[in-house]
Structure 1
Amino acid sequence: MIQKAEFVVSNTQPEKCPKPDRAEIAFIGRSNVGKSSLINRLTGVKELAKTSQKPGKTQLINHFNINDRWYLVDLPGYGFAKVSKDTKAKWEVMISGYLTGRKNLCGVFILIDSRLPPQEIDLEFLLWCGTEGIPAVLVFTKADKLSKSQVDKNVKAFLKKTEEIFEEAPDYFVTSAEKGTGKDELTTFIEELVNEYEENPTN
Structure 2
Amino acid sequence: MINIKKAQLYKTVFKPEELSETPYKEVAFVGRSNVGKSSLLNSIVKNYKLAKVSSSPGKTRSVNFYFVNDKFFIVDLPGYGFAKISKTEQERWRSLIEGYLKNRDKLKGVFLLVDSKVGPTDKDRMMKDWLVYYGIPFAVVATKIDKLKKQSEKATVEKRIREGLDLPKQFPIIKFSAKTNEGRVEVLKQIERFLE
| Contact map agreement 2:162 2:168 (CA 8 A) in 1 | no
TM (normalized to structure 2)? 0.91
Q: 1:85 to 1:10 in 2, by over 3 A?
A: same
Displacement, 1:51? 0.2
What SS is found at the alignment partner of 1:91?
A: helix
Displacement, 1:26? 0.4
Matching residue's letter, 1:175: F
Aligned counterparts of 1:18 and 1:47: Cα–Cα separation in 2: 26
Residue 174 (structure 1) aligns with: 175
What SS is found at the alignment partner of 2:159?
A: helix
Residue 190 (structure 1) aligns with: 191
- The aligned length equals 193
Residue 66 (structure 1) aligns with: 68
Residue 83 (structure 1) aligns with: 85
| Contact map agreement 1:162 1:169 (CA 8 A) in 2 | no
Aligned counterparts of 2:130 and 2:35: Cα–Cα separation in 1: 19
Displacement, 1:38? 1.1
Name stretches of at least 5 consecutive residues in structure 1 with no aligned partner: 197-203
Displacement, 1:159? 0.3
Q: 1:48 to 1:30 in 2, by over 3 A?
A: same
| Contact map agreement 1:26 1:107 (CA 8 A) in 2 | yes
Alignment of 1:108-127 (within 5 A): 108-127=110-129
Deviation digits for residues 91-145 of structure 1, max 9, x if unmatched? 1111101101011001111110011243222112111211122222101000011
Instruction: Judge which range, 57-66 or 110-119, deviates more.
Output: 110-119
Q: Of residues 2, 5, 11 in structure 2, which corresponds to 1:9?
A: 11
Q: Of residues 139, 144, 147 in structure 2, which corresponds to 1:145?
A: 147
1:31 maps to 2:33: yes
Residue 154 (structure 1) aligns with: 157
Matching residue's letter, 2:143: T
TM (normalized to structure 1)? 0.88
Residue 52 (structure 1) aligns with: 54
1:22 maps to 2:24: yes
Aligned counterparts of 1:140 and 1:158: Cα–Cα separation in 2: 8
Displacement, 1:172? 2.4
Name stretches of at least 5 consecutive residues in structure 2 with no aligned partner: none
Aligned counterparts of 2:15 and 2:82: Cα–Cα separation in 1: 22
| Contact map agreement 1:100 1:134 (CA 8 A) in 2 | no
What SS is found at the alignment partner of 2:165?
A: helix
| Contact map agreement 1:38 1:177 (CA 8 A) in 2 | yes
Displacement, 1:169? 6.1
RMSD: 1.7
What SS is found at the alignment partner of 1:49?
A: coil
